[in-house]
Amino acid sequence: MEIKKINWLMVGAFALHIVVSLVLYNFPDMFEIGILLNLSLGEIMLLLPMVVYLLCWKLGQGKYADEAGENAEAEKPQTLRERLHYNKVKPTTILYALIFTWLSMPLTTLINAISMLFVDNTVMALSGQILGVAFPVMLFFMAVVPAFCEETLFRGIVYGGYRKHGNKFVAVMLSGFLFGVMHMNLNQALYAFAIGVLLALLFEATNSIWPTILFHFVYNAQSCCLMYFVEEIVPGFYSNPDNIAMATETASLYSMIAAYIIIAAIFTPLAICMLYKIAKNEGRVEQLKETLPGKKEGKMRIATASFWVATVLAVGFIVYDILLSYGIIA
């Protein structure tokens, strides 16, 4: 039952995102929004369905509390902190999670570079608007807000619910998939899928979303910091179309991909070792092993009808975005 509710939550979030995006695209003169409002809308469209889900969950907890009063064997109701998995971790785990984040970056950068052979880099396309905002403000909206909102939803609620009732390997893959397509464009969807899988594994290794919030914040913050740093060293770099074209031309991308294949081949195994060290530090090695294919079977099917509805909505919009970018549709 909980898995169905989670999947309907994703249907609501994706449908809301698509409706708002289509309205803003088709009526640009009526709804002129800046980059800050654009970023805020993305998080609000996740928060609204999430609040509805949590209200329904809270009502369900009241039922469990009544049952517990009558039956000592009834399921113990969870607190909101427990349901969202804001659990404590060891201080050393935070340090290890930071190292894991940095070791994982070459892999996701490689996937990003490969995707840029076919579609534009969405963040780079918005660089002019991003750099028009003071750095501390942009850091808050690009790194702090998404880290808390998206980790609470995709690891705290989605993966936390999936793993409780379903196969853990499937839960890791499908929660990562939903996290990827949530971005609603192919460029971000591909590397965000990889990030979503890494974050689910980090969550499983710690049973807490605090390390995943740190990972998410650092990942987004480094992109933001790099953009402002380049602009400081080479003023006007991102406002010059020739510079963007040079950075994204096929020859440059092939060189970047070749370099990152080597770097990722070195750093990704180290990231896996660090993930194991994190799980060992938190006493969760066996739980992490359960995420491997063919391990413990789940009690419920994760890919319900509502999951496929959410998938069709998100993938359909990504295809629509690709057709728009290639000028196939107006």
Residue ranges per structural domain of the chain = 82-325
Instruction: Give the residue, 11 or 243, on which the prediction is more confident.
Output: 11
pLDDT surpasses 80 at 89 = yes
Identify the band that residue 31 occupies on the pLDDT scale cut at 50, 70 and 90: low
Identify the band that residue 42 occupies on the pLDDT scale cut at 50, 70 and 90: confident
Quote the CA–CA distance of 165 and 87 in Å, as a whole number.
20
Quote the CA–CA distance of 271 and 144 in Å, as a whole number.
23
Calculate the average pLDDT of the chain: 89
Termini Cα distance of the chain: 41
Is the separation of the CB atoms in 278 and 205 below 8 Å?
A: yes
